[in-house]
Amino acid sequence: MLFEKHKLNRQTQFNYVWLNHQQQQHKLSFSLSNKKLFGLFRKFKLYQPHLAQRFVYIQMQKALSQWPNKKQRVKIISRPNDLKIVAYGSTQPPQELINHLLQVQAQAQQTYLARNTYSQMTNTFGSKVVKPDHMRIAKESLEFVSPIVEHIPQEQSGYITRDSINYVLSWIQSIPYSALENRSDSMGLGFNPPNKLLFENQGDCDSKSTLFAAIMRAFVPNLGIVMVYLPNHAMVGLQIPYSQKDEYIEINGNYYVLAEPTGPAILPLAEIGSESKRAIDAGSFTAESMP
């Protein structure tokens, strides 16, 4: 790929030249608002469990102080990576209070994640993992990527062909790849939201898949999109007409054709890498819909 970036007064211009899966040369040029390029997701940062736990601990302590029955007594003990509720002063544990605090704990955890643009998912091994809220980030990037959509070849407005999808797909695949840290313990390390990915001209599989999902939804506002998580990898499913030779998945009766935005291999829509195919065939994936 040939890449140029020029910062102007209020915009930055991006120029790309690359080859698609048929070795045909493509070009793409667009300009993006500097305000959005440098301001969007400006507060997004690495997830830090100790800060999350402190936030939850404070919310639980507030709830405890407001509990009307002062005869029911418990302590909230903060330990490394854990909060424990311990009853004292009575032979009978105050279960109603304990249940209330557990509910406050769960709500506070979700509040902290949402405020910091993170979410929790259950991976293919059944473990809960905190990760960037990729689908929310993609949705909140729609206005940002709209100038890109205006320069993508299309036959009819509001309708997307496989040629248009492959144009976008091969472009994102050609952007330099940075390896995904282990999602189970990376806490978002290495993830670039779409604006940062474009500015730095690099991204891991989660980052590239998020950018691809945002552009596809900006292209067709009612397009069904899922993020497909494999062990240490990610790709995107598009709810478009499929054929039996396509690589696709079924979720709740809906069919999604798979796309591998990661690269560096230039794979067209409905073709995926051999490791991805083994995981899909084995059912070792989790899917998350774009709202």
The predicted pLDDT at position 127 comes to: 87
pLDDT of residue 84: 94
Q: Please name the amino acid found at residue 159.
A: Y
Decide: residue 113, CB within 10 A, 0-12 exposed, 13-18 middle, 19+ buried: middle
Q: % helix / strand / coil in the chain, to the nearest 5? A: 35, 25, 40
Does the structure show a pLDDT above 70 at 204? yes
Average confidence (pLDDT) over 188-208: 93
Domain match, 38 and 56 both: no
The whole-angstrom separation of Cα 15 and Cα 29 is: 4
Residues 138 and 12 grouped into a single domain:
yes
- Angle value at C-alpha 172, between 224 and 142, nearest 5 degrees: 45
Q: Are residues 34 and 134 in the same domain?
A: yes
Same domain, 205 and 87: no
Same domain, 57 and 106: yes
Q: In this predicted model, what pLDDT tens digit does every residue of 22-65 receive, in sequence order? A: 999 999 999 999 999 999 999 899 999 999 999 999 999 999 99
- The reported pLDDT for the residue numbered 125 is 85
Q: Is pLDDT of 172 > 80?
A: yes
Domain boundary among 59, 82, 115: 115
226 conformational bin, left if phi > 0, alpha if psi -120 to 50, beta if neither:
beta
Q: Of the candidates 100, 92, 93, which has an alpha carbon nearest to the alpha carbon of residue 67?
A: 100
Q: What is the domain-level CATH number for residue 9?
A: 3.10.620
Q: For residue 85, what are the CA distances in angstroms to 56, 95, 280?
A: 13, 11, 41
- Two tokens at 31? 């300009």
Same domain, 79 and 218: no
What is the pTM (predicted TM-score) of this model? 0.91
Q: Is the domain of 216 the same as that of 186? A: yes
Are residues 212 and 255 located together in one domain of the fold? yes
Q: 223-237 pLDDT, tens per residue?
A: 999 999 998 899 999
Does 281 score more than 90 pLDDT?
yes
Residue owning tokens 């020029």: 6
| 35 and 169 assigned to the same domain | yes
Average pLDDT over residues 246-261: 97
Kindly report the number of other CB atoms within 10 A of residue 14's CB atom.
Answer: 21
- Closest C-alpha to 277, from 289, 288, 265: 265
Q: Are 61 and 76 in contact (CB under 8 A)?
A: yes
CA distances from 269 to 146, 212, 227, 266, 276 (A): 21, 12, 15, 10, 14
In this structure, the strands spanning 286-289 and 248-251 are unpaired
Q: Do 62 and 147 lie in a common domain? A: no
3-state secondary structure 27-51: EEEEEEEHHHHHHCCCCCCCCCHHH
Q: Is residue 181 very low, low, confident or very high in pLDDT (cuts 50, 70, 90)?
A: low
Q: What is the mean pLDDT of residues 3-20?
A: 96
pLDDT-above-90 percentage for the chain: 83
**Residues 25, 37 within the same domain:** yes
Domain span holding position 85: 49-115
Is residue 162 located within the same domain as residue 267?
yes
Instruction: Among 115, 139, 173, give the residue marking a domain's end.
Output: 115
What is d(CA 154, CA 164) in angstroms, rounded to the nearest whole number? 6
Q: Average pLDDT in the 105-120 region?
A: 96
Task: For the chain, give the mean pLDDT.
Answer: 93
Length of the chain: 291
Residue where a domain stops, chosen among 82, 115, 148: 115
For residue 105, name the pLDDT band (cuts at 50, 70, 90). very high
pLDDT at 93 over 90: no
Give mean pLDDT, residues 198-216. 97
Cβ proximity of 180 and 25 under 8 Å: no
What are φ and ψ of residue 133, in 5° steps?
-80, 80
Q: Which two tokens stand for residue 213?
A: 């999902």
pLDDT at residue 268, as a whole number: 98
User: Looking at residue 70, what is its pLDDT?
Assistant: 86
Overall domain count for the chain: 2
Query: What average pLDDT does the segment 252-264 reach?
Result: 97
pLDDT of residue 90: 74
